[in-house]
Amino acid sequence: MMESTMKEVRGGDSVLETKSMVGGDVEDDYGEDRATEDQLVTPWAFFVASGYSLLRDPRYNKGLAFSEDERDAHYLRGLLPPAISSQQLQEKKLMINVRQYQLPLQKYMALMELQERNERLFYKLLVDNVEEMLPIVYTPTVGEACQKYGSIFRRPQGLFISLKEKGKIVEVLKNWPERVIQVIVVTDGERILGLGDLGCQCLPVTIDVGTNNEQLLKDEFYIGLRQKRATGQEYSDLLHEFMCAVKQNYGEKVLIQFEDFANHNAFDLLEKYRRTHPVFNDDIQGTAAVVLAGVVSALKSLGGTLADHTFLFLGAGEAGTGIAELIALEMSKQAKVPVEETRKRIWLVDTKGLIVNSRKDTLQHFKKPWAHEHEPIKDLLNAIKAIKPTILIGSSGVGRTFTRDVIEAMSSINETPVIMALSNPTSQSECTAEEAYTWSKGKAIFASGSPFNPLQYNGKEFVPGQANNAYIFPGLGLGLIISGAIRVHDEILLAAAEGLAGQVTQENVEKGLIYPPFKNIRNISAHIAAQVAAKAYDLGLASQLPRPEDLVKYAKSCMYSPVYQNYR
């Protein structure tokens, strides 16, 4: 409410004198609240790690776990209840609370709120309960979170770089509070999981060039640029400015992980920057490494070498062609024959059918290496009957495309068919675990991109594998950091895949598993990191000298610990 009176001033002029009503009919006589409305003010903040500000700093806050001495030393008396809790007890209480939520998105939001107030407790909870929590903070729930991010947005946790920041990206990066950056995950949000263009609604570094998603453009809660996606030179210029700014701000060795870029940009960006920056694309190379590891593990049951088997893919985008290329490279390495020869063991089906030589003139450049001599085939089922693959891999992003006829055809050709339904989230999976095991009459070795629960068939328990990129990128990133790698060559991706496959025990194989239990992910990641670092040293790409004697031990010593620290 505003109350107005006319006040006569010198010269006979009149001005409008206002008094602000700040609520409850209380007048703002001194103009303090009006100052925030009518004039610029300075947003002062005091960053002293003590007292009230300490309890509001998620990096250092321990809640009720502050000791008596810490409460005295850091002016916390009276700001906390008198009880003192251990981190373990805090974790127990939080797990009870999280498990009470019925919807996965509610659990996701509860965990994000925890991260915003107590980082170490958040990561401790994840580390100790990784198999239960991973489907919440990662696929499939994170897909729903990205779709609804504008509605559940509370406070920013990443960096948003849009077309508005063109010409100022160096300054934008300096706004981030940390100065020592070793890994950056960046996306333009155009191809999130199998969900398509989600614009600005994903993290941690988002390059916002607009969105072609009409639903988001009409959404009043959408947090990104409300315009169609920039393309061509405008897009390239912004990405190039970002890549140069990263190197200028953080140095030559900062690792850049491209995530969820659409096909037409993903391949071009990887090819453009892999010779000037340490970069890798998780959808092309990370997925490829984890799938190759699963295939190598499956050979322990199937027998033979990679070159003894035939592969058929449904989906020829960045994931499908990336997986195919890494399998071909590993096959070439094992058989000591040119990769052009090993590619002939690998066939791909896209939306127009089997990729064959007669289609070569109309194919995108990344599909052309997979065009082999064969008559055209329009559908997957007939491709299976003609090619007779041992291993069927789905990366189509289209759910329920591995039909009963498809699985039964694979089972009639193979004693032990390998079925990998990799598309995320669960709704986009080419088939479910239950369908794979039931339609194959329990013969299949199955793995998927999103998690499926163990199930019983004919009195036998089957535990589906999850070809989860989270097996690869933490260990890959750690290995590149501890070695100071200046580039990411294909041999390094092969080393990561071999490191993961090496963690699959004979006991796992006997249970039908082609991946190790995810509860051991920190130990798995340490071994992958050691393999990656060793390959970087062998290739002369490592800058961190001297080389540690025990790379596994060194990798473990470099890992983050979420246990509370004691304060002086």
Residue 359 counted as an annotated binding residue: no
DSSP code, position 282: I
Residue 400 counted as an annotated binding residue: no
Whole-number Cα distances in Å, 443 to 407, 411, 446, 462 = 10, 7, 9, 11
User: How is the chain split among helix, strand and coil, in percent rounded to 5?
Assistant: 45, 10, 40
Residue 27: strand, helix, or coil: strand
Residue 91 counted as an annotated binding residue: no
Residue 448: strand, helix, or coil: strand
CA 308 – CA 337 distance, rounded (Å): 13
Whole-number Cα distances in Å, 289 to 354, 465, 541 = 24, 15, 20
Instruction: Give the distance, in angstroms, between the CA of residue 159 and the centroid of all CA atoms in the same chain.
Output: 15
CA 553 – CA 551 distance, rounded (Å): 5
CA 320 – CA 316 distance, rounded (Å): 5
What single letter denotes the amino acid at residue 169? I
What single letter denotes the amino acid at residue 480? L
Query: Which residues fall within 8 angstroms of residue 177, CB to CB, at 6 or more apart?
Result: none
Residue 468 counted as an annotated binding residue: yes
Residue 538 counted as an annotated binding residue: no
CA 499 – CA 178 distance, rounded (Å): 31
Backbone angles phi, psi at 255, to 5 degrees: -85, 130
| Residue 184 bridge partners (DSSP) | 256
What single letter denotes the amino acid at residue 244? C
Residue 32 counted as an annotated binding residue: no
Q: Which long-range contacts (CB under 8 A, 24 or more apart) does 65-74 make?
A: 65/90, 65/564, 66/567, 67/566, 70/566, 70/567, 73/567, 73/568, 74/49, 74/50, 74/567
Asked if 185 and 257 count as a contact pair (C-beta separation under 8 A), the reply is yes
Known binding-site residues equal 191, 259-260, 283, 424, 468
Enumerate the known binding-site residues for (S)-malate: 191, 424, 468
Q: What residues form the annotated binding site for a divalent metal cation?
A: 259-260, 283
